Amino acid sequence: MDIDRGPGARGDLPLEGGERLRLDAQGAGSFLQKLGERLDYNINIMDRDGIIIASRDPARVGTYHAAARHLLESGGREERIFPGDHLPEGTKPGVNLPLEVRGEILGVVGVTGDPGAVGDLAQAVKTSIESMIELESMREAVMNRRSRKSQLMAYLLYEENVPESSVVALAGKLGYDPSVPRAALLLRLPAGKGPEETLARVKARGIHDSQDIASAVPDGSLLVFRSLGRVGGKEVRTGEGVLGSYREEVRAYCRDFARETGIRDLACYAGAPQRDFSRYRGSYRQALWLASRVPGTGGAEPVLILDHLDTFFLARTPRVILDDALSYVSAFVPPELRRTLAVTLEALEASGFNAKEAAARLGIHRNTLSARLERITSFLGCDPRGDAGALSLSRAIVTYQRLREGVVQDAQERG
């Protein structure tokens, strides 16, 4: 049965977001037409004002049904009209029952005939109509939520000129608290794992929080604006523990997500935490950038933007500024150092600058690593293991060279 969403007529059923449902004449008529294929009795459906909005007798549609109105006003559970009674105009013998959905009376259904003969039929018709209304209202609620959810994601990700108040209002209708901090998590799923089905699974397992905002993205990945700010079940209200909470919660979510979905090598990329809806787009773009530039670690260990900010900032800096700062220096990097600088720095940082462990990661002898470090120190004029400026410059040179190599490669491919 179709349900008309109206602006608040008496007896309408409240739904999500303040909308209300009411009996729809066209839907009720269609229902009776189908039902009438198997029944010989006349059936009327009345609204809260006692007006017949659907009937197997077309002549009665639009007329007033006094008995239905009396039943609604009295709050009774049933009204039986027997032959021979002093019947008001337009009233015939039969059984009238209130239509009730979620505790709200929406109207009345009446079956014409001997009350003793049509009583059970009237109850069956009442139950059928109420079930149809309930199912349709649920379908409408799901469709409305999906539509609103799609609109919210469009606001968050793509539309830059939407007033913040509109986004907050829409999020509120969906039950999302705008004061909850969230971070964009981009989850790369393997072939055969659909984002919608995967999300449904983690929701069923309790991994997905009611304040998490999730949606599939065009490339088949799953985007989750994961709610943050709780350590050990307690909300973090001050700066203390915020970054630790961010790292801990993102890691826990990715780990639990991988376990419950059976995806062993889930690739998870996390943008910076945000509390302002207008900055969610930035967190998402950070996660996208990570996915395009930083290899996944495997084992559901997330890649966090806060661990790659220096590279991110350099990559986002206009090329002319980078050229002004680094083109001359980069041109004099010796060929051997150019070949080994990036992997050597990565191994050193991953090992906490422990030479023995870094050499093992590189698969080289410690003496070979020492020779590399001497070349790096000689070129920079400082040892990056003990000088923050030298370490920062080393990282900048590596990123700049990679960016330049990308420009050359792109030009060659275009040629």
The rounded percent of the chain whose pLDDT value lies above 90 is 21
Would you place residue 289 in the very low, low, confident or very high pLDDT band (cuts 50, 70, 90)? very high
Q: For 23-73, how does the pLDDT look when each residue is reduced to its tens digit (9 = 90+)? A: 677 778 877 877 766 677 888 898 888 898 888 888 888 888 888 888 888
Domain spans of the chain? 3-145, 181-307, 316-414
For range 131-151, the mean pLDDT = 73
Q: How confident is the model at residue 2 (pLDDT cuts 50, 70, 90)?
A: very low
Confidence of residue 3 (pLDDT cuts 50, 70, 90): very low
Q: Which amino acid is at 101?
A: V
- pLDDT, average across residues 145-169: 84
Tell me how far CA of residue 89 lies from CA of 93, 316, 376, in angstroms.
Answer: 12, 80, 103
Fold (CATH) for 3-145: Beta-Lactamase (3.30.450)
One DSSP character per residue, 272-333 reads EEESSGGGHHHHHHHHHHHHHHS---STTPPEEGGGSHHHHHHHHS-HHHHHHHHHHHHHTS
Class of domain 181-307: alpha beta
Q: Give the whole-angstrom CA distance, residue 112 versus residue 92.
A: 7
| pLDDT classification of 140: cutoffs 50, 70, 90 | low
Q: Mean pLDDT in the chain? A: 81
The rounded distance, in Å, linking the Cα atoms of 264 and 254 is: 11
